[in-house]
């Protein structure tokens, strides 16, 4: 019997890989640090390239519709409340697959349920942290520390680290890597039950690159017309004094930050009023990691945030983790459960995704708001005289091609994993 593929981390990337390997007949074992899976997080976007993969994994519109809704529009609005740019999203834009805006925790739980059901509960060990690895010609040994204080070793054919932005496997693979990077942006995130804006399923980016709100619904409206709305309030400060907090969840009071948005009042939206009714608020520094020259060392690979944590400006962190998983699966179909498969995955994705990481630092698609800020301080009468329509369209097209969800290319691409394909 061959050893399983070990997966460090049962987040969005790790569970997508477990489901992919099960689909192609490769045994997988997930080692997850959390003692209990809980629906943590707020909103996250799944781009059409990732939704296509989820559909191919058997997680269709019924599953995704239960944890979110198809996005219809992406819109940027200036500080004066006027539209700068808007475009349809998902199938309305001509993609063969929708874009979904989902609750991260509910989506994660749906992946977890599917993985438990298909791989069996024994394939996922909770309360277990991969603390290090050693490899030889025949396989890889993961050192595991358990929540009860005990330690054990697990033998695998390969180890894929999907252990998130603070990845320990990454630290062992790249000891000189400088760690998380913070560029000065602070985000406060939360949800509120409110009437959705514009189309009812619009992503709205409002303000400037350094001072903005992002608002989008992550559920269909209820009988009263109110949906669960994800909001992100963001300001950028001088990063030179450093950042003390780590991790995703520092619960905060709205009063700590609402004053930054006092002026965000329009006839179609009152931001302070919306924030005052929020269900919850968490403070996050906007952090990422430096791009790496390689994600692979022999039998060990990094994927998801462990490989390429990036600023959320392009809404593609979760989508890229899913695409990584599928690319690893496709590489195994071509090369078997071998180091060559990991090398092929690395060769395909590391360089282009590293470029995307760097590009997201430069504001991603929100760069249009930067341009607006530079040219008129965010206040304008006629947007066409400030940024002509062709310039706006060209800016967005360039970004989308880089993010891998350029429509024609995606629509025409064959499935990453052909239906029914299994490793002999």
- Binding residues for ligand FAD, rule: CB under 6 A, are 8-14, 31-34, 40-42, 44, 104, 129-130, 162-164, 168, 248, 304-306, 312, 317-318, 321
Q: Which is nearer to ligand FAD, 23 or 230 (CB)?
A: 230
Q: Which is nearer to ligand FAD, 214 or 371 (CB)?
A: 214
391, 401, 368: which is closest to 74 by C-alpha? 368
Residues forming a β-bridge with 227:
194
Tokens found for residue 406: 């350029």
Biggest alpha carbon–alpha carbon distance for the chain: 70
Residues forming a β-bridge with 285:
186
Separation of alpha carbons 392 and 372, rounded Å: 11
Element (H, E) at 127: none
DSSP string covering 61-117 = HHHHHHHEEE--EEEEE-TTS-EEEEEE-GGGGT-SS--EEEEHHHHHHHHHHHHHH
CB of 164 to ligand FAD, least distance (A): 3
Q: Which is nearer to ligand FAD, 84 or 309 (CB)?
A: 309
CB of 320 to ligand FAD, least distance (A): 7
CB of 318 to ligand FAD, least distance (A): 4
CB of 399 to ligand FAD, least distance (A): 18
Query: Taking a C-beta distance cutoff of 8 angstroms, is the pair 387, 368 a contact?
Result: yes
Q: Which is nearer to ligand FAD, 34 or 92 (CB)?
A: 34
Q: Which is nearer to ligand FAD, 69 or 84 (CB)?
A: 69
Number of Cβ within a 10 Å radius of residue 377: 12
Q: Which is nearer to ligand FAD, 143 or 338 (CB)?
A: 143
Looking only at the bridges linking them, the beta strands covering 128-136 and 124-125 are unpaired
Q: Which is nearer to ligand FAD, 34 or 376 (CB)?
A: 34
CB of 47 to ligand FAD, least distance (A): 12
CB of 386 to ligand FAD, least distance (A): 30
Q: Which residue's C-beta sits nearest to ligand FAD? A: 11
Separation of alpha carbons 77 and 208, rounded Å: 9
Element (H, E) at 410: helix 407-412
CB of 95 to ligand FAD, least distance (A): 21
CB of 134 to ligand FAD, least distance (A): 15
Query: Taking a C-beta distance cutoff of 8 angstroms, is the pair 218, 103 a contact?
Result: yes
> Would you give the DSSP letter of residue 167?
-
Tokens 């619904």 sit at which residue? 217
Q: Which is nearer to ligand FAD, 304 or 314 (CB)?
A: 304
């Amino acid at each position: 019997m061959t050893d399983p593929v070990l997966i460090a981390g049962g987040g969005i990337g790790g569970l997508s890989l477990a489901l992919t390997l099960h689909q192609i007949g490769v045994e997988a074992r997930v080692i997850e640090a959390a003692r209990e899976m809980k629906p943590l997080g707020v909103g996250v976007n799944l781009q059409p390239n990732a939704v296509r993969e989820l559909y191919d994994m058997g997680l269709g519109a019924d599953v995704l519709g239960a944890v979110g809704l198809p996005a219809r529009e992406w819109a940027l609005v200036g500080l004066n409340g006027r539209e700068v740019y808007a475009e349809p999203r998902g199938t309305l834009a001509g993609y063969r697959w929708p874009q979904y805006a989902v609750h991260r925790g509910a989506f994660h739980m749906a992946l977890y349920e599917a993985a438990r059901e298909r791989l069996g509960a024994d394939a996922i060990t909770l309360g277990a942290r991969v603390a290090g690895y050693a490899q030889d010609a025949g396989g890889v040994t993961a050192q595991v520390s358990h929540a009860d204080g005990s330690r054990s070793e697990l033998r695998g054919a390969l180890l894929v680290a999907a252990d998130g932005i603070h990845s320990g496997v990454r630290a062992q693979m790249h000891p000189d890597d400088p760690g998380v990077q913070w560029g000065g942006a602070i985000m406060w995130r939360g949800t509120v039950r409110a009437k959705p804006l514009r189309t009812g399923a619009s992503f709205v980016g409002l303000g400037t690159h350094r001072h903005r709100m992002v608002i989008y619904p992550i559920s269909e409206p209820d009988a009263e017309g109110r949906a669960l709305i994800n909001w992100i309030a963001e300001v950028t400060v001088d990063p030179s004094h450093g950042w003390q907090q780590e991790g995703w969840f520092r619960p905060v009071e709205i009063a700590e930050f609402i004053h930054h948005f006092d002026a965000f009042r329009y006839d179609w939206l009152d931001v302070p009023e919306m924030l005052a009714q929020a269900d919850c608020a968490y403070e996050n520094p906007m952090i990422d990691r430096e791009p790496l020259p390689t994600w692979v060392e022999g039998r060990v690979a990094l994927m998801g945030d462990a490989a390429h944590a990036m600023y959320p400006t392009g809404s593609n962190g979760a989508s890229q983790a899913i695409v990584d998983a599928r690319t690893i699966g496709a590489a195994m179909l071509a090369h078997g459960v071998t180091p060559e498969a990991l090398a092929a995955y690395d060769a395909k994705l590391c360089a282009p995704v590293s470029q995307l990481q760097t590009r997201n630092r430069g504001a991603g698609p929100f760069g249009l708001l930067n341009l607006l800020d530079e040219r008129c301080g965010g206040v304008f009468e006629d947007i066409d005289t400030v940024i002509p329509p062709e310039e706006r369209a060209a800016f967005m097209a360039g970004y989308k091609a880089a993010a891998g969800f350029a429509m024609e290319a995606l629509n025409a691409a064959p499935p990453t994993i052909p239906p029914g394909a299994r490793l002999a």
